[in-house]
Amino acid sequence: MMNISGTSNVIRPLTTHTLSATTSSGATATSAFASDTNTVMVTATAGCFVAFNPDRPATTSSTYIAGGTPYFFRVEPEAMCSAITGASTASVYITELTR
């Protein structure tokens, strides 16, 4: 039997946010993450660009993520995520994580 009580790589999912990303949706953002959230998992149905600063919405110069691949990001507590596509549309799923 595996003892996971002291394992630092075990995480627990909390709230999942869903964004509908389009070529003009960069200013659309999630609600603020919980105050104890410092890591999020982001997955999208198509390639898109994400940003985590509510004062700087996502643009096509933001961090690119490929569709269908989970990405983990360290974030500031109470940050937000916004997303935009270069073409077409994508659903972007942002899950807050905790240990």
Domain that holds residue 66: 12-98
Residue 3 belongs to a domain:
no
CB atoms within 10 A of CB 38: 17
Q: Is the model's pLDDT at 82 over the cut of 60?
A: yes
Q: Number of structural domains, the chain?
A: 1
Q: Buried b / exposed e across 71-87, counting CB within 10 Å, b at 16+?
A: eebebeeebbbbbbbee
Of 99, 10, 26, 36, give the one whose Cα is nearest residue 62. 26
Residue 55 belongs to a domain:
yes
Rounded to two decimals, the pTM is 0.86
pLDDT, tens digit, for every residue of 26-42?
888 999 999 989 899 99
Q: Is the model's pLDDT at 79 over the cut of 90?
A: yes
Residue 35 belongs to a domain:
yes
Higher pLDDT, residue 6 or 58: 58
Angstrom distance (rounded) from CA 23 to CA 26? 8
Please give the mean pLDDT across all residues of the chain.
Answer: 90
Residue 2 belongs to a domain:
no
CATH assignment of the domain containing 92: 2.60.120
Residue 6 belongs to a domain:
no
pLDDT at 77: 85
Residue 7 belongs to a domain:
no
Residue 26 belongs to a domain:
yes
Q: Is the model's pLDDT at 12 over the cut of 90?
A: no
Share of the chain above pLDDT 70, in %: 92
* Vertex 44: Cα angle to 75 and 99 (nearest 5): 40
